[in-house]
Amino acid sequence: DAKTTQPTSMDCAEGRAANLPCNHSTISGNEYVYWYRQIHSQGPQYIIHGLKNNETNEMASLIITEDRKSSTLILPHATLRDTAVYYCIVRVVSSGSARQLTFGSGTQLTVLP
Amino acid sequence: NAGVMQNPRHLVRRRGQEARLRCSPMKGHSHVYWYRQLPEEGLKFMVYLQKENIIDESGMPKERFSAEFPKEGPSILRIQQVVRGDSAAYFCASSPLRGDTEAFFGQGTRLTVV
């Protein structure tokens, strides 16, 4: 699976948008971009995923560049409960099978009051 | 639809004992993944199973660790003759047969070896 590069840490003011970048310059055509987060001591939580189109759900938006070499996760109105480690993962998916998620170091997002 | 259920949530074992960790995937999910998170470290993949089959065990230690996902019942991660270095949080995730969907994680089992 393609490697990803994320900043080690970021701060964001409560109520503002949090924009978390991820570089995945070696991504291949059958790899999806997934975002998960892990709040301290809890199991990872799925946020969103996409292949090449921008995606939005109730938690976040995912913006993928046209060349797919990078993406940005946007939390539109960050709250204190969004403080967590955010993982950007690229994952090979094929019919009937899905490779495991390979977690890097992620970005520690701290939402400040 | 209940989420991924792991039990026990906390497990204490003495060195040399066996640890059995159970994972019940979400209903309709036939893929199970186990991950380990050592203290202050990231999540590391251990094994990927489908019903009655081990698909990828490239992350499993060669000795003392085994995993199964029987036709009926939960997936089991078994650690024989535990050592202090096995103390960690063990997470299970499941996803449905259709691969291009998210994997859902359980809350983990925290194993402490004393």
Tokens of A87: 């993982």
Per-residue DSSP letter, A5:
B
End-to-end alpha-carbon separation of chain A, Å? Answer: 37
**Residue A29: Cβ within 10 Å count:** 7
Note whether A97 contacts B89, CB cutoff 8 Å.
no
Return the beta strands (E) in A31-98 as ranges.
31-38, 45-50, 55-56, 61-64, 70-75, 84-94, 97-98
Q: What are phi and psi of B81, to 5 degrees?
A: 50, 60
Measure the CA–CA gap between B94 and B105, rounded to whole angstroms: 7
DSSP string, chain B: ----EEE-SEEEE-TT--EEEEEEPPTTEEEEEEEEE-TTS-EEEEEEEETTEEEE-TTS-SSSEEEE--SSS-EEEEE-S--GGG-EEEEEEEEESSSSS--EE---EEEEE-
How does pLDDT run across B46-105, given as a tens digit for each residue?
999 988 899 889 999 999 999 999 999 999 999 999 999 999 999 999 988 665 568 899
| Residues in B touching A101 (Cβ below 8 Å) | 33, 43, 45, 93, 103
Shortest Cα distance from B109 to chain A (angstroms)? 10
| Residues in B touching A8 (Cβ below 8 Å) | none
Taking alpha carbons only, the member of B87, B104, B68, B75 closest to residue B17 is B87
How does pLDDT run across B88-108, given as a tens digit for each residue?
999 999 988 665 568 899 999
| Chain A residues touching chain B at CB-CB below 8 Å | 32, 34, 38, 41-46, 49, 93-106
pLDDT at B98: 60
pLDDT at B42: 85
Residues B7-35: what's their mean pLDDT?
95
Note whether A100 contacts B89, CB cutoff 8 Å.
no
Judge whether A2 and A28 are in contact, CB under 8 Å. Answer: yes
Using pLDDT thresholds of 50, 70 and 90, give the confidence band for residue A100. confident
Mean pLDDT of chain A: 91
How does pLDDT run across A61-96, given as a tens digit for each residue?
999 999 999 999 999 999 999 999 999 998 877 655
End-to-end alpha-carbon separation of chain B, Å? Answer: 36
* Partner-chain residue, chosen from B89, B91, B99, that has the shortest CB–CB distance to A97: B99
Shortest Cα distance from B10 to chain A (angstroms)? 12
| Residues in A touching B100 (Cβ below 8 Å) | 32, 93, 98
Residue B28 has pLDDT above 90, yes or no: no
Measure the CA–CA gap between B89 and B81, rounded to whole angstroms: 17
pLDDT at B95: 87
Q: Which residue of B has its CA nearest to A31?
A: B100
Using pLDDT thresholds of 50, 70 and 90, give the confidence band for residue A29. confident
Mean pLDDT of chain B: 92
Shortest Cα distance from A5 to chain B (angstroms)? 15
